[in-house]
Chain A
Amino acid sequence: MSTAIDARPAEGLPVDGEPLLVVDDLSTTFATPRGPVRAVEHVDLSLPRGRTLGIVGESGSGKSVLSRSIMGLMPSYASRTGSVRFEGVEMLGADHSTLRKVWGAEMSMIFQDPMTALNPVKKIGNQITESIKEHLDYSSAQRRDTAIALLRSVGIPEPERRLNQYPHELSGGMRQRVVIAIALACGPALLFADEPTTALDVTVQAQILDLIADQQEEREMAVILVTHDLGVVATRADEIAVMYGGRIVEQAPTATLFREMRHPYTEALLRSIPRLDLPSHTRLEAISGRPPDLLHPPAGCRFAARCPYAQDRCRTEEPPLVAEPGGRADHLYRCWYPVGIAREQTTLDTIAEEAHVREPGDEQAVDLELVDDDAVEGNVD
């Protein structure tokens, strides 16, 4: 493998058995002209080396802000409270030069859009070696070899030739591979992947996700995978945190989350995945309404306004993020009337079963029914 990884100073060093990353009560507030926006509130996370945490949520749920808050890549008008400990070192109050040593070398980030994450006027090779130059004491020949090794490891053919190419000479998938190569250049212990496949073709998405998974295994990296696509995290993440309105509303190991989701928002997210096994022209289920205005957050549960099961208590009192009494300790959710406990179990499996019950001849009727339902709903709204 590339020499950059071997050169990483002092493997691991878990302090007192503490996981690689511990986030404790992290809140991020943006000062805007119209008042403070609390984009992320009271987030607790921990992530051991080699594991993957998926952060899922819709646009504006604070998932990207959360990943950038953990890393510390914040604009000057943002303020953070709480604690972020990385390899046992508090990162929240750390000065800029300390952070700069960690950024790129110990934790790095893959950005969403490979079209804008690469500098259009710099050659690929220079963009890769830049952070090696910053963090490691390599000769220029070593840097070049490392860059070639990196490009090869992210599956780019003819890496020697690519070094002298400009970003616009590569396809989107290739560019994202380059972005990943840059992020991996100094062998980070923690990799943030902020919607790494959103800007890519579906066919390329899986390749990129596989690539990240391979590199993770090879380097024993921890990965935080931020996405709005539950399908992306379903097979890749060890644990999933679902975010809504700046808060984690449900957090559980992946299998548990998909099997026994408790929060209505998680359920709604799962329902809104297009399903191939449903008859064609079935109306895609969407979550009606919009995410809450974080300038004036609602008093009770953030999801109450859009929640089909909301009751009075939900609108006045915010539920805490707790584990189910007597249930799994690692399954936390934030709901007074959790799905599957208050009512009959509704899981992905049952949705699937329902779908299979339908007869081919019913399709037309189903469609009409769904359209009618929708119209009625519209009237109510």
Chain B
Amino acid sequence: MPAETPIAQLNMAIEPAAADETPAAVKAKGIGVIGWVAAVWLILVVVVAILAPVLPIDDPEAPGAGRALPLFTEGHVLGTDSSQRDVLSRLVWGARASLTVSVGAVAMGMVFGGTLGLVSGYRRGRIDTILSSLFDVMLAFPQLVLALSLVAFLKPTAPQAGAGEVVEAAGGLTTIQILILALGIIAIPLLARITRATSLTWSQREFVTAARAQGAKDLRIMIREVLPNALPAMFSIALLSVGIAIIGEGALSVLGMGVEPPAPSWGNMIAENRSVSRAPLNALFCPVIALFLTVMALNYLGDAIRARFDVRESSL
């Protein structure tokens, strides 16, 4: 693309921070090579997770495929685990569980944390003081401990003895819903803080005063003027938080508080297979690698998106 070279150089000069990440010529067009690789991986994971019921794969919970088969076995590309279950199928279904939990939790954090943060940052004054202290108190708890106690608190006590039973709590919450709730409560202060900080700065811009001077209501100013400007930062943090929530679910699973076996999630696949010390280690490493790649992809995509939006702002 020789025709673009001067523009590309110009861009490189203007935004060196973004330019050292990816070639500037590509950068000028969108989210960069790494951003696209990350996006493709994430789309793949999401599509596979959504299509899990219709994909031609084995039942993830049914044993009988042969014990601890290595990679690339006929019929089981990723082998099987020590309980004779197909790893690929468990990985796909595990992605479904992990993504549901993490995206659900972050969505909950976005909605509640975002709203509280927006109000807090826009209103300032006493409301801000109260809400900010609330976020600080919530952040002061060690997050894993808080998540553990929330799950323990929300989980019905009785069916814990009967392993493998589909959990139907008194409140009608499934394990997935409990995990979403627990991790969502942890995500709320994180997202609230970011939203508050960004809306605080945007609320002091002159266009907000201008909107007031045009007779706009507070609610309208918050939603129409401040929120669209705070969204890039919120989304960027939300993407990172999805990664954190996937790991969080994994950590809870390792501690026995995550998705109930035999239903797979990436976390409890790692938990189940962490004691395997002999080859083949595919049952342990497949979910680890999938989790690693997904969290990395989320991080890079978050960065790329933020960099992209920064360009738009710096051109102002």
Contacts and interface: CB of A to CB of B under 8 A. Distances in A.
A103 B214 CA distance: 5
B279 interface: no
Contact of A119 (B213, B229, B313): B229
Interface residues of B, number: 22
B206 A103 contact: no
Given A117-B206, A120-B229, A121-B229, A168 B213 contact: no
Interface string A71-87: 10100100000000000
A92 B52 CA distance: 65
Given A117-B210, A120-B316, A100 B229 contact: no
Contact of B125 (A76, A112, A134, A135): A76
B312 interface: yes
A122 B223 CA distance: 12
Interface string B286-316: 0000000000000000000000000011011
B224 interface: yes
Given A104-B215, A116-B206, A121 B228 contact: yes
A185 B213 CA distance: 12
A130 B211 contact: yes
Nearest to B210: A117
A71 B228 CA distance: 27
Interface residues of A, number: 33
Contacts, number: 73
B216 A119 contact: no
A118 interface: yes
Given A120-B229, A130-B224, A168-B312, A111 B215 contact: no
Interface in B189-229: 205-207, 209-217, 220, 224-225, 228-229
A168 B315 contact: yes
Interface in B210-254: 210-217, 220, 224-225, 228-229
B228 A119 contact: yes
Question: Which of B207, B217, B229 counts the most A-chain CB atoms under 10 A from its CB?
Answer: B207
Nearest to B314: A168
Contacts of B207: 116-119
A167 interface: yes
A381 B284 CA distance: 80
A182 interface: yes
B312 A103 contact: no
A367 to B, nearest CB: 41
Contacts of A111: 206, 209-210
A113 B215 contact: no
B214 A168 contact: no
B313 A73 contact: no
A104 B215 CA distance: 5
Contacts of B213: 71, 73, 103-104, 108-109
Interface string A117-144: 1111110000000110011000000000
A102 interface: yes
Contacts of A167: 316
A112 B205 CA distance: 12
* Closest 6 A/B residue pairs (Cβ): A104-B214, A131-B214, A104-B215, A103-B215, A116-B206, A121-B228
Interface of A: 71, 73, 76, 99-105, 108-109, 111-113, 115-122, 130-131, 134-135, 167-168, 179, 182-183, 185
Interface of B: 125, 205-207, 209-217, 220, 224-225, 228-229, 312-313, 315-316
